[in-house]
Structure 1
């Protein structure tokens, strides 16, 4: 009985060592990168030419999926010796004062501000990401969004709007009347030219 266990163990070890040597990765293809560097992605997943092709399994993508820039990642082995990584990156939307950006899904993207087309965001206190994203979509011509514990400001080319709650500004966005300084409250609207 002990001999059989020893032989089974020896066979498993032989198969494992053979898999490391017999089928190395010859080429790694990375698709879908816009902001991330290919070298950093390959380092994160640990798949380089010469690595064992049989051990290029989806679990290798876990470190990559923890990167806030990565929305989705898949690994394919189209043929022996070739590994293909497909990555879908998050898109920067709102530039933040510290150089980061908010993605369209609200994820904070380190260093993403230069690629974010939305209005610049400045503020004090905890970042109300979802409220800011909603305001940016409701006011596509906004130049800047500000937030403080007191409320929200939307700076447009010909108007500045304020409300203590983002929901009030979202309701007012439907009116399309944007001139001067506009203060929106639950009990009414005050307009100054």
Structure 2
């Protein structure tokens, strides 16, 4: 019985000691562009003074729930130091939906309060995100994309093209020799240019 009590007392002393002896002296955040260091520390609760031994990777779960965060990991480079390493999503284009601007990431996640991007997407109906991502990647010089249930109009420096599907746009972009200055309409049976 005395051994059990001593073992329990030892465990309690180690638990209390681990919270006092090795506090976190520094939290370094790496890989962040959209989220500030202070936001990352606030979201995770990892701050200077917290117990170093009690900082576990599960503290990053609220951070991983943020749409800007693709991945996050916790490192312990030295006693008293924590390093939060982020991989953030990037906005390929700005999608206007229900009067609000969203960043559209390459994996189809809508990002709140995006920085300015080259391409602006607007339209009618429900956007097909996979198609829009494919169009932006296929035509990186596009400045405006308009979607409707009937198809897509893409404008850029020196070109304007319409197609019913993203696949038609991808084929056109692959086969074209130069960008036309006149609007081009793509149909399953061929291509038409406005005069």
TM-score if structure 2 supplies the norm length?
0.87
Displacement, 1:126?
Answer: 2.1
Displacement, 1:5?
Answer: 4.8
For residues 26-60 of structure 1, the C-alpha deviation after alignment (integer angstroms, 9 at most, x for no partner) is 11111222121111100111111110000112221
CA separation in 2, counterparts of 1:79 and 1:142?
47
Question: What secondary structure is seen at the aligned counterpart in 1 of 2:183?
Answer: strand
Aligned residues: 190
2:145 is matched with: 145
Displacement, 1:7?
Answer: 4.5
The 8 Å contact of residues 92 and 136 in structure 2, kept in 1 or not, is answered as: no
Higher strand share: 2
2:19 is matched with: 20
CA separation in 1, counterparts of 2:109 and 2:136?
15
Unaligned ranges ≥5, structure 1: none
The 8 Å contact of residues 100 and 113 in structure 1, kept in 2 or not, is answered as: no
CA separation in 2, counterparts of 1:112 and 1:25?
33
1:182 is matched with: 184
Query: CA 1:113 to 1:80, structure 2 compared with 1: closer, same or farther past 3 Å?
Result: closer
Question: What secondary structure is seen at the aligned counterpart in 2 of 1:16?
Answer: helix
Displacement, 1:170?
Answer: 1.1
CA separation in 2, counterparts of 1:91 and 1:6?
55
CA-atom RMSD in angstroms: 1.9
Displacement, 1:18?
Answer: 1.9
Mapping of residues 56-95 of structure 1, within 5 Å: 56-95=55-94
CA separation in 2, counterparts of 1:3 and 1:137?
70
